[in-house]
Amino acid sequence: MNGAGTPRVVVLASGRGSNFAALAEAVDAGECRAELVALISDRRKAEALERAHARGMPTAIVPKAKGEDRDAWSERLLEAVRAHEPDLVVLAGFMKVLGASFVDAFARRIVNVHPSLLPAFPGLDAPGQAIAAGVRVSGCTVHLVDRHVDTGPILAQAVVAVAPGDDGATLHERIQRLEHVLLPRVVNAIGRGALVLDPAPRWEREGERAALLEAP
């Protein structure tokens, strides 16, 4: 992913697939340099699968069985993802923690979007955590995935004010609107070579970094 070609991207999603849809729309509009080659879910009824089917994209379902060892499941997931030979793996609302073997196989090539301003409020229900903590601003973070939960290097963030009367659901809805802008921007920066991930994240063109970090 050095700007010489369009990166092949496999998307992992567990739910509605709104971030996948935003990414696909940006690709179709020529605003995101990426080739979406497959969508893989851990849930058979994920709406994201229907969105991918509508685009004629290959899909796969790799559910984690009750009681199954996470590493064993991650190996199965890894096999499914490798079949599509991706340059980049994008977690777009993927609700399972990846095992070490998967993370190591795609080291510095897995991007996640999280609904908080990391390192604040990692893990589940980040908007609810923000409301409970009484913060005045929240937002979303696009970051690299490492072996731990929401601790990888931060690539970009976008900020939203917490409104009076917000609860976790209303705040999350506004954060998701930011995610739908920021995630395609980051993937585009990677695809164009403006953001290099390996061996450590760095920006090759500061002008593009400044534009990316402008409030959506």
**Residues recognised as catalytic:** 114
DSSP codes of every residue in 54-87: HTT--EEE----TT--HHHHHHHHHHHHHTT--S
CB-side neighbour CA atoms (13 Å) of 157: 14
Strand (E) or helix (H) holding 186: helix 168-191
In angstroms, what CA-CA distances link 64 with 19, 68, 125? 22, 6, 21
- CA–CA separation, 33 and 31 (whole Å): 7
